């Protein structure tokens, strides 16, 4: 699926996205994002990739970052983000071609975004370019476990009518596909290490269904 289609899908669900995410994470998404930021806090500049409606950007400002930049493919998502954080900078941009100068960022975060990236290798090359030496990358995402297999089954059966009613068939199919693209901790760690990052912290949430991984540019 190309990036324009992905941007259009998230734009079409932008108004209900926050509520949907709160429900499916049992209202824990905010605490997970705050925890990721606590682990990554280093320096003054935060770049939040796939910022969506700007929740991590808002928390980043509250967490002491002087400059917060949120990047996303979805213009409609960013319209909501701008209203949440007037002091943040939001840009319609591609994670694989970030409009950020070399070694400018202290921290890069991705909240439920990493599995959606079309070319993770290219993104990690960009992340290494953009981060200062010793800068941190925080990844909050779904962990590929047996629980995810159960969730995929439920999404294709019991939850499917509700999902189609809320999002429409194509968009619901996209979210199911995104579950299929989820990665294990070992897979993410291997990708990070291959691109010059050292994993410094790993924690799991929701019975192991969710991962928070912190890497450092070495």
Residues whose CB falls within 8 Å of the CB of residue 177, separated by 6 or more in sequence, listed in order: 1
| Ranges assigned E (strand) in 16-148 | 45-49, 67-72, 89-92, 105-111, 131-142
Determine the pLDDT at residue 80.
96
**Domain spanning 3-143+184-217: CATH 3.40.50.300:** no
Determine the Cα–Cα distance for residues 56 and 54; give it in Å rounded to an integer: 6
Determine the pLDDT at residue 1.
59
Determine the Cα–Cα distance for residues 183 and 169; give it in Å rounded to an integer: 24
Determine the pLDDT at residue 89.
98
Per the listing, tokens 């796939």 go with 50
pTM of the model as a whole: 0.89
Determine the Cα–Cα distance for residues 209 and 147; give it in Å rounded to an integer: 6
Domains of the chain: which residue ranges? 3-143+184-217, 145-181
Cβ atoms of 142 and 171 closer than 8 Å? no
Residues of the chain with pLDDT under 50: none
Per the listing, tokens 């699926």 go with 1
Cβ atoms of 47 and 112 closer than 8 Å? no
pLDDT tens-digit series, residues 4-55: 777 777 887 788 889 988 987 889 999 999 999 999 987 999 999 999 999 9
């Amino acid at each position: 699926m190309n990036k324009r289609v992905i941007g259009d899908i998230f734009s079409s669900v932008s108004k209900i996205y926050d509520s949907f995410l709160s429900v499916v994470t049992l209202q824990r998404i905010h605490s997970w994002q705050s925890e990721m930021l606590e682990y990554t806090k280093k320096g003054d500049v935060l770049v939040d990739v796939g910022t969506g409606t700007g929740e991590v950007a808002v928390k980043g400002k509250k967490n002491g970052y002087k400059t917060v930049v949120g990047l996303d493919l979805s213009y409609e998502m960013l319209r909501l983000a701008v209203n949440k954080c007037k002091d943040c900078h939001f840009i319609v941009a591609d994670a694989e071609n970030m409009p950020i100068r070399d070694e400018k960022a202290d921290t890069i975060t991705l909240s439920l975004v990493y599995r959606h990236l079309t070319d993770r290798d290219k993104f990690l090359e960009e992340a290494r370019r953009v981060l200062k030496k010793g800068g941190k990358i925080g990844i909050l995402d779904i962990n590929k476990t047996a629980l995810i297999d159960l969730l995929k089954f439920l999404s294709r059966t019991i939850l499917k009518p509700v999902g189609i009613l809320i999002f429409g068939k194509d968009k619901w199919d996209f979210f199911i596909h995104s579950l299929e693209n989820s990665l294990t901790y070992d897979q993410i760690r291997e990708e990070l290490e291959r691109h010059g990052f050292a994993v410094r912290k790993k924690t799991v949430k929701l019975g192991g269904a969710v991962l928070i991984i912190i890497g450092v540019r070495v």
